[in-house]
Structure formats: structure tokens, C-alpha cells
């Protein structure tokens, strides 16, 4: 089936129900970074409120959510670069997440390496970076699953590492027909699935469900990720993400800072 056939009516007919939990990772400095600028917790609260007031507003339908769930849906700012299901510019937000923590670690590891690929003179960090992983519960009866027939017939377009023309057009059409989520194959983890949540109304709990702390080390040998509780280790060799042309020129043998 060609991409041209996925009209609003065709997509709407493929709507299915999806529910479960999904995972994201953020740098663990999201609160500590302001604490070092003040003397008391009250001052930190005031500082964070002042910072919050300078940011684009959170939509009314998202304001009951924990800020980590609501943040991707902020309106008003220009989205600087297009992503798989979101166009650049003043466009509606997308909450990107992974179906499992293993896939979330793979996605985050890739983008950390991409930063260093684009910064060839930056040395590897001496210490492991700390990340907070959190899961969110979602449920909808208006979702697409690009990994199942017949939508998987366009897998090559859905999983292209750098060309998002087809997936952005798909997301536009999905929004037109009231679809709320898209499940798709992770490009970084061949065994994993990702989710693109198109609206914050899909969350069925306003708070994250589970928290984990991960330490991630980058080095000339690859990526090593460690979670202390529950204990888990995930590693990626230098060839793990070789299919993405943006990492082709990555200088693995740079020194440490």
C-alpha cells in the first residue's frame, strides 16, 4: 500500500485501542541545578516559579499533570527542529516515549552520542551522567500501530533515520481524524517499540507511575548504563547505532575532559 492511500478516512479505519505504561528519561539535574543558586528551599521554590513564568504556557487540559508529563505539550515557543512526528515551528506538542525502559535507554544513549558526533572537539565526560527514568500510564481507543498490518507495509518510511517527511504527514492526518497516539518501531532498538502521544488527555494518571535512577557512561568503547534499583545493566558497543549516518564520523577515540 502506497503512502498516498493513507487518507484521513483510511487512517481512521485503522484506529485501535492502546493502554499501558511508557518510559522517558531526563537529566537528573532538573531540580538540583537551581538549588546551588540559592540558600534555602523557599528561595529555590521562588526561583523555579520565576523560571516557570518565563516559559510558554501549559495548555489548560494539561495543567493537572505532573510537569514532566505536561512539558512536551507547552505552546507558544518555536519548535526549533522537526522530529519524527512533529514539524518545526509553532506546532502542537508530542510526548515521545518508549514501551520499555530498555528502549528508553537505547534512545537516550543514541542522542547523547549524537551530541558528541556534532561536537567533534568535545572530550568524553570523565564521570557517568545521572538520569531520571519515569513511566506514565496511558489509555486510548483512538491509536495507530505502525508495526501491524496494513500500516507496516510502509515500515521503511516510518523508520527512516533522518527523513521525517512521511511520518510528519502521517501525524498531521492522524490529528485531523482525532487519533491520539502512534505506536512505532524504535529505530535505535530493533526489538523495541516507541510511542508518540499526540495529546496530554491520553494520560490516565496525572503522576508518573515509577521512578528509576540511571548512570550512563560514554567512552571509546561505547555506552554503559547502570541502574542500582532495580539492579540492571545495559551496554551498547560502538557499532550499536551504526545504521544512522549522523554517527558515521563520530570520533570515538577522543580524550576525556
Torsion of CA 17, 23, 24, 29, to 10 degrees: 140
Cα distance between residue 226 and residue 172, in whole Å: 38
User: Are the C-beta atoms of residues 181 and 139 closer than 8 Å to each other?
Assistant: no
The more confidently predicted of residues 214 and 3 is 214
Per-residue model confidence (pLDDT) at position 124: 96
Cα–Cα distance for residue pair 225/128, rounded to 1 Å: 9
What is the four-CA torsion angle of 59, 64, 66, 72, rounded to 10 degrees? -20
Q: Measured between alpha carbons, how far is 65 from 129 in angstroms, rounded to an integer? A: 27
pLDDT digits (tens, 9 = 90+) for 33-78: 555 565 666 655 565 555 554 556 788 999 999 999 999 998 777 8
* pLDDT at residue 1, rounded to an integer: 41
14 neighbors 144 (Cβ within 8 angstroms): yes
Measure the CA–CA gap between 205 and 203, rounded to whole angstroms. 6
The backbone torsions φ and ψ at residue 173, rounded to the nearest 5 degrees and listed phi first, read -65, -40
pLDDT of 109 over the 60 cut: yes
| Model pLDDT for residues 194-250, shown as the tens digit of each residue | 999 999 999 999 999 999 999 999 999 999 999 989 999 999 999 999 999 999 889
Mean pLDDT of all residues in 91-97 = 96
Question: Is the pLDDT assigned to residue 171 strictly greater than 50?
Answer: yes
The CB density around residue 51, as the number of other CB atoms within 10 Å, is 10
Sketch the domain layout of the chain as residue ranges: 3-247
Q: Where are the alpha helices (DSSP H) in 122-204?
A: 155-158, 165-176
Say what the pTM is: 0.89
Nearest partner of 204 among 12, 10, 55, 22, judged by Cα: 22
Q: Report pLDDT for 77.
A: 75
Q: Higher model confidence: residue 106 or residue 7?
A: 106
Amino acid at each position: 500500500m502506497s503512502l498516498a492511500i493513507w487518507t484521513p478516512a483510511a487512517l481512521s479505519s485503522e484506529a485501535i485501542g492502546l493502554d499501558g505504561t511508557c518510559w522517558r528519561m531526563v537529566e537528573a539535574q532538573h531540580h538540583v541545578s537551581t538549588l546551588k543558586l540559592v540558600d534555602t528551599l523557599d528561595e529555590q521554590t521562588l526561583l523555579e516559579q520565576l523560571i516557570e513564568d518565563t516559559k510558554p504556557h501549559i495548555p489548560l487540559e494539561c495543567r493537572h499533570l505532573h510537569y514532566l508529563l505536561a512539558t512536551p505539550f507547552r505552546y507558544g515557543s518555536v519548535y526549533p527542529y522537526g522530529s519524527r512526528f512533529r514539524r518545526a515551528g509553532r506546532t502542537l506538542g508530542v510526548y515521545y516515549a518508549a514501551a520499555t525502559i530498555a528502549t528508553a535507554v537505547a534512545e537516550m544513549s543514541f542522542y547523547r552520542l549524537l551530541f558528541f558526533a556534532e561536537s567533534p572537539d568535545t572530550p568524553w565526560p570523565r564521570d557517568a551522567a545521572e538520569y531520571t527514568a519515569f513511566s506514565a500510564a496511558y489509555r486510548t481507543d483512538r491509536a495507530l500501530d505502525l508495526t501491524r498490518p496494513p500500516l507496516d507495509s510502509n515500515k521503511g518510511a516510518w523508520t527512516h533515520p533522518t527523513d521525517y517527511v512521511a511520518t510528519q504527514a502521517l501525524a498531521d492526518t492522524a490529528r485531523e481524524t482525532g487519533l491520539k497516539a502512534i505506536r512505532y518501531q524504535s529505530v535505535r532498538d530493533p526489538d523495541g517499540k516507541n510511542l508518540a502521544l499526540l495529546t496530554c488527555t491520553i494520560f490516565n494518571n496525572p503522576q508518573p507511575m515509577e521512578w528509576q535512577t540511571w548512570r550512563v557512561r560514554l567512552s571509546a568503547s561505547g555506552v554503559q548504563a547502570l541502574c542500582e534499583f532495580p539492579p540492571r545493566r545495559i551496554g551498547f558497543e560502538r557499532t550499536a547505532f551504526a545504521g544512522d549516518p549522523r554517527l558515521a564520523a563520530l570520533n570515538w577515540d577522543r580524550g576525556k575532559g
